[in-house]
Structure 1
Amino acid sequence: MIRKMGEFFTRVMEKYLPDAYLFAIILTFISFVLALIFTDAGFMGTINAWWGGIWGILAFAMQMTLILVTGHSLALAPPVKRLLASIARIANTPAKAVFLVALVAGLCSWLQWGFGLIVGGLLAVEIAKRVEDVDYPLLIAAAYAGFLTWHMGISGSTPLTIATAGNPANHIEKLTGQVIPVTQTMFASWNIWPAMFLIVSVAALLAMAIPSRDKARPLSKEAIGRLEEEEKQEEAERKNVQMDTWAQRIENSRVINYIFAAMGVTYLVNYFIQKGFTLDLNLVIGIFLFLGIILHERPINYARAVNKAIKGAGGIALQFPLYGGIQGLMMGTGLASVIAGWFVAISTTRTFYMLQFWAAGLLNMFIPSGGGQWAAQGSITVQASQMICQEPVKAAMMVAWGDQWTNMIQPFWALPLLGLANLKARDIMGYTTLVLIWSGIVLSIVALVIA
């Protein structure tokens, strides 16, 4: 049954889901019309909010580009290639391959979402080269499905925000005077056990969804041959070290490479000594960057790796500003608060957490940034939790759960992975729709139980 459902949703997505760029444009139109109907922003007010949002996300778009490029460049380093190859050898059947990719991606995303996306994708590509008859889009879908539990994990923006005193978006502190430690959010039993259950059960679900051999779409022999040829060419360039001119000696100088890397490592070590093992997006980029520089050994080797990796970043450059426009429109016109208010109005003590989870899932389709969504929905959620005599902390985490949930049918966060894999959103969204349904059932039940 799982296999048939996976095949059904795959056919539907292939037929009806447009390119991710068109998906973003359609969402823009929908949010624009809703803002005109349900807010008093007016036509030009809505236009201005949308336009401002486009440019407000440029720094974040660059961060995401660097997550993709530095992560991909790191994976092109010989030691990392050998490590991924060793892990890939464990998977000798399609079912094992899919389960392994989803499990590794899930655990890594729980630790840090950017790390999980890239590692999962690179492992999927490595396994696709080795395991015959494994469905390549399903492998990439498994890598993206690992992203499901990121907001329940260590890099979750909502639990980190409400754990930070004085943060402008710490709505719980503003209304109650309390700063909530992460032991009460991401490490609470009602959060961590569902997260671990979902990581394992989603891996098993996708392993059961593998298509029959005649319907599988493995990585083509031409693509495998092209990848192997690229690897041979890269290895030849790596071994062909020329020191004839001063410029060539600089380009291939290990001394220059390691002195530069030492500067970055010094900062990172000092940071972790001073502040403990806390991660943000810039730190992850920095870790990827300087690890890549070290493992590529020579400056010119790293430059070549970056030139190769940057080719997959086109989707981010084009579409992230469009989602910034949608986010600006939703927040600038007040539409996000209006939608959140609908769900509050129909809530009871028993259903409040579940309906906040659902509301966050709906809003995430238009504001797929966890931090942006909390800024838009957080205040009304915390206020409503006090009015209905429920815990603001759990209410805040319902926003986090909903934010991560509908990522499974929202291609925004899949763009780095799709660029890496050279696939389109429609290739994987049929499988991730299965994950959406399963995780929605699980988290809705948990939300009812903890009420």
Structure 2
Amino acid sequence: MLNAISDKLSKWINRYLPDAFVIAVLMTLLVFILGYISTPKNPLDLIRSYGDGFWVYLAFTMQMVLLLMTGMVLASVPFIRKGLEALSARANTANKAYLLTFLISAAAYYINWGLAVVVGAIVAREVGKRNKQAHFPLLVACAYAPTALYTAGLSSSIGLTVATKGHFLEDIMGIIPTSETIFHSGTIVIFLVLLITMPLFILLMAPKQNIIPYSPPAREKSNQEKSSEIEESTPAIYLEKTKVLGILIGLIGIIFVIVKFLNEKDLNLDIINMFFLSLGLLFHGSLWNYGEAFKEAAKSISPIILQFPFYAGIIAVLGSSGLAENIIQAMVSISNKETFAVFTYWTAGLVNMLAPSGGGQWALQGPLQIPAGLDLGVNPAIVAMSVGWGDAWTNLIQPFWALPILSIVGLHIRHIMGYCFLLCIWVGVVTTILLYFVY
């Protein structure tokens, strides 16, 4: 029955769901309308806040672009590519393909969500190339699905924020150690239950007919198609093709990353980008090889560059219009001490649909949710994790975070959204029940 539902839903979504850029623009207009209705004010004020916030995430956009490009370039190193091919070859049945992709991606999401974006996409692509029995859209959904788990991982944005001295809510809630958030027994229980049940749910959705195998995007070029012209040996060509420069600058970057990590014990986007960049330079050897691989990777990044600023503008309007505050207060008003975590989770899931950023969402939701929870006697650590789980939950149906993976594999959001939508329902039901009992 679930297989039939997923098949019909996927067909319906393929017909009616527009491009992710269209969705971003429609959501922008929706937030403008709801913001004006929620707290009537001069429309020009909303437009000003939108424009002021449009470029707030410019640095983050560049971080994501570099994360994807350096990761893709690293994966194109011959011996790494062969390793991925060997690992992917183990998935010799469709079910093994789905399970392997999900579990590898889940492990990467637990370590660091930025790392997982690249790892999951590359594994899905490599498994799809070698297993024509696997339905490739579902395979990509398997790579993306563990985004619902990241808040329990080592890069949990909210969990790490509230554990940091000087965070913006320290005066209200104090510093919350990770033992009370990401390493809390309740968090671990939710993580493990989802880790076990989500892949089983995926297997039940797997189509038995009309399988769509992996098809290389038009932009991909085989190594055989690349030019092999013999160039004149000159000092300039020598500098471009010598391995000495690439290895030296790569080693400098790796040493920096090791020292930085040993001192700060943190895996942020800057560290991961430096690590990927330096490893790529080291393993590709010549600067020419790295530059060519980087140029090829750049062809799939345009959707991220285009759409991220629009979501920054949406977040700005949510805050300035008071719409986010009204949504949160409405949920708080109907909750009590026992149900507060659940209502916080639902609220976070709703807000995340409009403001898909863990840090941005916490800035909107934390100052309202924490005082309300304290008034009811709810542990602020539980409130923080409930917001985190809600943020991760609706990532499954928010095109914003699917863009990086889709860019790498060459699919459209409509190809995976049917499966992600059903997974979102499952994750929401399971997490709602567990939140009520384990925190």
**Pairwise TM-score range, normalised by the shorter structure:** over 0.9
Q: 2:222 aligns with which of 227, 230, 237?
A: 230
Deviations 1:185-211 (A, max 9, x none): 111111123113212321222122211
Question: What is the Cα deviation at residue 14 of structure 1?
Answer: 1.0
Could you say if the C-alpha distance between residues 295 and 44 of structure 1 is closer, same or farther in structure 2, counting changes exceeding 3 Å? Answer: same
For 1:241 and 1:71, how far apart are their aligned partners in 2? 29
Q: Which residue of 2 aligns with 1:147?
A: 147
For 1:163 and 1:45, how far apart are their aligned partners in 2? 35
| Alpha carbons 2:94, 2:134 under 8 Å: kept | yes
The aligned amino acid for 2:44 is M
The aligned amino acid for 2:50 is W
Is 1:196 the counterpart of 2:185? The answer is no
Q: Which residue of 2 aligns with 1:410?
A: 398
The aligned amino acid for 2:358 is G
For 1:51 and 1:226, how far apart are their aligned partners in 2? 34
Q: Which residue of 1 aligns with 2:250?
A: 261
Q: Which residue of 1 aligns with 2:93?
A: 93
| Alpha carbons 1:104, 1:146 under 8 Å: kept | no
In structure 1, runs of 5+ residues without a counterpart are none
For 2:232 and 2:93, how far apart are their aligned partners in 1? 46
Deviations 1:381-414 (A, max 9, x none): 1101111111110011111000010011111011
157-166 or 129-138, which moves further after superposition?
129-138
For 1:12 and 1:192, how far apart are their aligned partners in 2? 36
Question: What is the Cα deviation at residue 42 of structure 1?
Answer: 2.5
The aligned amino acid for 2:172 is L
Q: Which runs of 4+ in 1 moved over 4 A?
A: 224-227, 240-243
Is 1:219 the counterpart of 2:183? The answer is no
Q: Secondary structure at the match of 1:23?
A: helix
Could you say if the C-alpha distance between residues 67 and 193 of structure 1 is closer, same or farther in structure 2, counting changes exceeding 3 Å? Answer: same
Question: What is the Cα deviation at residue 293 of structure 1?
Answer: 1.1
For 2:268 and 2:175, how far apart are their aligned partners in 1? 19
Could you say if the C-alpha distance between residues 383 and 305 of structure 1 is closer, same or farther in structure 2, counting changes exceeding 3 Å? Answer: same
Superposition RMSD in Å: 1.7
Deviations 1:102-148 (A, max 9, x none): 11111101111111111111111111111123111111111111222
TM-score, structure 2 as length reference: 0.96
In structure 2, runs of 5+ residues without a counterpart are none
Q: Which residue of 2 aligns with 1:392?
A: 380
For 1:344 and 1:322, how far apart are their aligned partners in 2? 29
Could you say if the C-alpha distance between residues 241 and 84 of structure 1 is closer, same or farther in structure 2, counting changes exceeding 3 Å? Answer: farther
Q: Which residue of 1 aligns with 2:67?
A: 67
Could you say if the C-alpha distance between residues 275 and 36 of structure 1 is closer, same or farther in structure 2, counting changes exceeding 3 Å? Answer: same
Is 1:245 the counterpart of 2:234? The answer is yes
| Alpha carbons 2:332, 2:372 under 8 Å: kept | yes
Is 1:370 the counterpart of 2:365? The answer is no
For 1:38 and 1:44, how far apart are their aligned partners in 2? 15
Q: Secondary structure at the match of 1:347?
A: coil
When the two structures are aligned, how many residues end up with a matched partner? Answer: 439
| Alpha carbons 2:248, 2:282 under 8 Å: kept | no
The aligned amino acid for 2:164 is T
Q: Which residue of 1 aligns with 2:29?
A: 29
Q: Which residue of 1 aligns with 2:121?
A: 121
Question: What is the Cα deviation at residue 231 of structure 1?
Answer: 3.3
Question: What is the Cα deviation at residue 242 of structure 1?
Answer: 5.7
Q: Which residue of 1 aligns with 2:76?
A: 76
Q: Which residue of 1 aligns with 2:177?
A: 181
TM-score, structure 1 as length reference: 0.94
290-299 or 399-408, which moves further after superposition?
290-299
For 1:324 and 1:191, how far apart are their aligned partners in 2? 29
The aligned amino acid for 1:217 is I
Is 1:272 the counterpart of 2:261? The answer is yes
Question: What is the Cα deviation at residue 243 of structure 1?
Answer: 7.1
Could you say if the C-alpha distance between residues 34 and 305 of structure 1 is closer, same or farther in structure 2, counting changes exceeding 3 Å? Answer: same
Q: Which residue of 2 aligns with 1:312?
A: 300
For 1:322 and 1:429, how far apart are their aligned partners in 2? 21
Q: Which residue of 2 aligns with 1:162?
A: 162
